[in-house]
Amino acid sequence: MSKILGIDLGTTNSAMAIMEGGEPKVLENHEGNRTTPSIIALSKANERLAGLLAKRQGVVNPKNTINSVKRLIGRKWTDAEVQRDKQWLSYDIRESAHGGVEVKLGDRWHTPEEISAMVLQKLKADAEAKTGETISEAIITVPAYFDDTQRQATKNAGEIAGFNVRRIINEPTAAAFAYGVNKMKNEKIAVYDFGGGTFDISVLEIGFDPETKEQTVEVKATGGDTHLGGDDFDKKIIEHLVSEYKKAEGVDISNDPLAIQRLKEAAERAKHELSTAMETEINLPYITSDASGPKHFMMKLTRAKLEDLVREYIDRSIALVKEAVTAPAPKGAGLKLSDIGEVVLVGGQTRMPAIEEAVKNLFGKEPHKGINPDEVVSIGAAVQAGILQGDVKDILLLDVTPLTLSIETLGSVATPMIPKNTTIPTTKSQVFSTAADNQTSVEIHIGQGERPMMADNKTLARFILDGIPPSPRGVPQVEVTFDIDANGILNVSAKDKASGKTQSVRIEASTALSKEEIERLKQEAMAHAAEDEKKRGVIEAKNHAETLIYTAEKAMKDAGEKVPQELKDSINTKITNLNAVKTGEDKEAIEVKTQELSEELQKIGEIMYKENKAGDTPTDQTNHDQPSTGNN
Amino acid sequence: MEEEKKEITEKELDIETIQKERNEYLEGWKRAKADFINYKNEETERTKRFSAITKEMIVADILPVLDSFELGIMSSKDEQSKKGMELIRMQLEEVLRRNGLEKINASPGDQFNPLYHEAIGEKESEYAEGTIAEEVGIGYTLDGRIVRPTRVKISKESKK
């Protein structure tokens, strides 16, 4: 079955997404960008251009560069909006035969649907090139305030572009879908959409009938300002910079197109930077020159100043939100602000911390964010497409492990086998060894939790693997395998590679912890993080010390007479010293004594090296750093 | 007899349901597996692209510095420091060139092509209407992708 394309057909920019592997994915256009300007042009060479290319020549070809056609689609010529927009649109529009609007491109008059279709056609072609598939179906989003005619016109645009338009859905609903706020709950949500050129607020009521599992989305109220957006912010910053520069240097750069171009780019960059930084510097050398020589532009802009500059816009948007939520119908939803269960942020401008803060303060709750606000609507449309094409089925929903599953190793350390949030089913194997010489059995102790010490986690099971042939510590290889199936049932097996002996255990309820229990274990882990880290440090030092003592004793035994008694005595003293501190909890003391022993031990190496120069016997290559299962 | 017949029909129905379910599961499994393989391939591609994107971001941030050098050299009156600045610019350009950055050629009189050029204004000139009258800002490609189009003024009909 062909895939359904989710399209956010915007006033200034459009975006598209598709479901892949059960996840929505934004598709890049031919130019490699994730958004496409909703602009169509007929170039001076009589070539039709769409998207970025149309935008690049817009300044010198304003009559034949059609932007913002979404403001006209499905409207009557006599609509107040059309009469108002007519004033500033750079291209010619006129009343059509049926009382609608027509747009002039070249010598021909087109309906707004046809222009929108050209934008959609570009998206379709780019999506097909990107996926290598024919895409004939689409879901297109529209503002919640669009009436039937506007919706029908948008649908027609899709059909003209060659799509079978499966649904026309509301932009705020799509954004809510993207965040999955529609999951089986009755709820009222507010979607705050601050884009480049328009500001929209929508209040939705989501209803869910548990009997029929049917879900309804009702638009309770919409509001906004069709001429308020992030572009206003940019303009404000540039104005400020120009006027400050004039004050400081006495030069007006507002009429120098190149200077303004550079300033515009710098202002946009500064605006983005101030979303994360508190202060930024705008540095444009040789911005202009006068009789005295070249002049430079150098100015600091703080986040506080930026917020001060655009405060009026933010306040205006907040006032519009209040009205849409609280005003009695038909102006608003007639609700209390506290009735709103969830808030969703859409549009690039909502990345500004001051906006997020203002929305948060108004509703007294954290708004949903995290998905790229420029893409969230197209992603929501793709999610809806996924439901239609059957991608989002319960059967394909995979669970994750809520807590880390570990095995106990030397010193009661919980060594993670499967970290928390791993998607299941999954399998992990690791090879362990013994901690003592001639150890013939190991205990496999399986625990669950985030704490580094096994005693602090929940024990799921223990079992013993015996029959390991006697050998020096670190030599036997015990392979431990954790396997969780899709139902969360954990199988743990341990296998001695030498004897082939295997033991295993099956744990039914590895993921069946209650929500409270999971939360408690996570909280505990967080609360004890520092203390645990310290404990683990001590144990690591102890393990290291133990390994070194073992190595030292073995080395002395192996070297035998070759090592002078003097050195043996000195090493034995160091071992005694290390043993004395090893039982305590002083990590530093253990490390110091370990270091001392290690230095002393190197002398054996030196002697052996000199001895071996003639003999060339291979050195012992046993790796003693392997974790060893704790059963000593 | 009737009883047995009924039982057989029921069992047949059961088998039918189970077969249907099995096909559904198998389909889902195949799809998940295919998706995973595709995802893995894409991820490899993405990792490759990732370093390219990182490079592109850094290079795009350096371009305004190159512009400033250009302007600095143009407005410098002291020959010695002008020479010095030119050399620093060359050094910087060389580093970027080694990393795949190339200038887009745009000369006055060339045909305007929005694939490579961005029009920022018009200007009367000796060249044919609609062609490039002046290059205002240098454009660049990085490994063949456009990082910044050349900013140009377009020639408009001379009033003379």
pLDDT the model gives residue A621: 37
pLDDT in tens, A481-499: 998 876 678 889 999 988 8
B64 and B127 inside one domain: no
Higher pLDDT, A326 or A583: A326
Q: Which of A270-274, A358-362, A396-400, A438-442 has the lowest mean pLDDT?
A: A396-400
B155 and B121 inside one domain: yes
B37 and B85 inside one domain: yes
Of B71, B99, B127, the residue at which a domain comes to its end is B99
Tell me how far apart the alpha carbons of residues A345 and A461 are, in angstroms, rounded to a whole number.
Answer: 46
Assess whether pLDDT exceeds 70 at residue A304.
yes
Q: Which of A115-124, A274-283, A328-337, A340-349 has the lowest mean pLDDT?
A: A328-337
Q: How far A68 CA lies from chain B's nearest CA (Å)?
A: 20
SS3 A122: helix
Of B58, B76, B99, the residue at which a domain comes to its end is B99
> Which DSSP symbol is given to A54?
H
Which tokens is A276 given? 């994360």
Identity of the residue numbered B124: E
> Which DSSP symbol is given to A2?
P
Assess whether pLDDT exceeds 90 at residue B34.
no
B139 and B116 inside one domain: yes
Confidence class for position A553, pLDDT limits 50, 70, 90: confident
Higher pLDDT, B135 or A605: B135
Cα distances from B8 to residues A524, A593, B3, B5, in angstroms, run 58, 81, 9, 5
Q: Which of A466-475, A520-529, A550-559 has the lowest mean pLDDT?
A: A520-529
Which tokens is B69 given? 């050098």
Selected catalytic residue, list A171, A234, A374, A375: A171
Q: How far is CA B158 from the centre of its chain?
A: 37
B89 and B108 inside one domain: no
Higher pLDDT, A328 or A16: A16
Assess whether pLDDT exceeds 80 at residue B3.
yes
Confidence class for position B132, pLDDT limits 50, 70, 90: very high
Confidence class for position A187, pLDDT limits 50, 70, 90: confident
Assess whether pLDDT exceeds 80 at residue B35.
no
- Supply the ipTM of this predicted assembly: 0.71
DSSP lists the bridge partners of residue B145 as B142
Higher pLDDT, A171 or A387: A171
A538-550 average pLDDT score: 85
pLDDT the model gives residue A121: 95
B41-57 average pLDDT score: 83
pLDDT in tens, A99-112: 999 999 999 999 99
CB contact under 8 A, A395 and B71: no
Q: CB-based contact (8 Å) between B137 and chain A?
A: yes
Smallest CA-to-CA distance from A487 within A399, A406, A380, A616 is with A399
Assess whether pLDDT exceeds 50 at residue A394.
no
B14 and B64 inside one domain: yes
pLDDT the model gives residue A515: 65
Q: Which segment, A304-313, A416-425, A543-552, B48-57, is predicted with the most confidence on average? A: A304-313
Confidence class for position A616, pLDDT limits 50, 70, 90: very low
pLDDT the model gives residue A437: 86
Number of A/B CB contacts below 8 angstroms equals 78
pLDDT the model gives residue A514: 63
B91 and B37 inside one domain: yes
Cα distances from A212 to residues A216, A394, B128, in angstroms, run 11, 16, 70
Dihedral sign of CA atoms A614, A617, A618, A624 in order: negative
Q: CB-based contact (8 Å) between A132 and chain B?
A: no
SS3 A483: strand
Spell out where chain B has E strands. 101-103, 117-124, 132-137, 140-142, 145-148, 150-156
Burial of A376 (0-12, 13-18, 19+ CB in 10 A): buried
Assess whether pLDDT exceeds 50 at residue A617.
no
Q: Which of A244-258, A372-386, A548-562, B52-66 has the lowest mean pLDDT?
A: A548-562
Assess whether pLDDT exceeds 80 at residue A521.
no
Percent of chain A residues topping a pLDDT of 90: 43
Q: Which segment, A384-398, B5-19, B32-46, is predicted with the most confidence on average? A: B5-19
Q: What is the CA radius of gyration of chain A?
A: 35
B1 and B65 inside one domain: yes
Assess whether pLDDT exceeds 60 at residue A18.
yes
Placement of tokens 């043993």 in the chain: A579
Residue A54 near residue A39, CB atoms below 8 Å:
yes
Cα distances from A448 to residues A263, A360, A414, A415, in angstroms, run 57, 37, 9, 10
Assess whether pLDDT exceeds 50 at residue A627.
no
A555-564 average pLDDT score: 80
Q: CB-based contact (8 Å) between A425 and chain B?
A: no
B28-53 average pLDDT score: 78
Host domain of residue B70: 1-99
Q: CB-based contact (8 Å) between A206 and chain B?
A: no
Residue count of chain A, please give it.
632
Assess whether pLDDT exceeds 90 at residue A194.
yes
Dihedral sign of CA atoms B51, B53, B56, B62 in order: negative
CB contact under 8 A, B68 and A286: yes
> Which DSSP symbol is given to A400?
B
B86 and B121 inside one domain: no
Higher pLDDT, B57 or A376: A376
Residue A216 near residue A206, CB atoms below 8 Å:
yes
Residue A512 near residue A448, CB atoms below 8 Å:
no
Tell me how far apart the alpha carbons of residues A225 and A238 are, in angstroms, rounded to a whole number.
Answer: 22
B79 and B106 inside one domain: no
Identity of the residue numbered B81: S
Q: Are β-strands A342-346 and A187-194 bridged in parallel, bridged antiparallel, or unpaired?
A: parallel
Assess whether pLDDT exceeds 70 at residue B46.
yes
Q: How far B17 CA lies from chain A's nearest CA (Å)?
A: 16
Placement of tokens 């102006």 in the chain: A331
pLDDT the model gives residue A531: 79
Assess whether pLDDT exceeds 90 at residue A518.
no
B116 and B56 inside one domain: no
Of B59, B84, B99, the residue at which a domain comes to its end is B99
A63-72 average pLDDT score: 94
Number of domains in chain B: 2
Q: CB-based contact (8 Å) between A266 and chain B?
A: yes
What value does the mean pLDDT of chain B take?
86
Q: Which of A48-57, A450-459, A617-626, B108-117 has the lowest mean pLDDT?
A: A617-626
B107 and B94 inside one domain: no
Percent of chain A residues topping a pLDDT of 70: 91
> What part of A 18-37 touches B (C-beta under 8 Å)?
20-22, 31-32
Assess whether pLDDT exceeds 90 at residue B159.
no
What value does the mean pLDDT of chain A take?
86
Higher pLDDT, A377 or A572: A377
Q: Is A193 noted as a catalytic residue in this protein?
A: yes
Q: CB-based contact (8 Å) between B124 and chain A?
A: no
Dihedral sign of CA atoms A81, A87, A89, A92 in order: positive
CB contact under 8 A, B111 and A284: no
Identity of the residue numbered A510: S
Assess whether pLDDT exceeds 90 at residue A246.
yes
Q: How far is CA A617 from the centre of its chain?
A: 56
Residue A262 near residue A242, CB atoms below 8 Å:
no
Higher pLDDT, A128 or A607: A128
pLDDT the model gives residue A1: 56
Assess whether pLDDT exceeds 70 at residue A622.
no
A60-64 average pLDDT score: 91
Among left, alpha and beta (phi > 0; psi -120 to 50; other), residue A90 is: alpha
Q: Give the orientation angle of helix A529-559 with respect to helix A515-527, to 10 degrees.
A: 70
A420-429 average pLDDT score: 79
pLDDT the model gives residue A391: 56
Any idea what the CATH number is for the domain that residue B118 is in?
Answer: 2.30.22.10
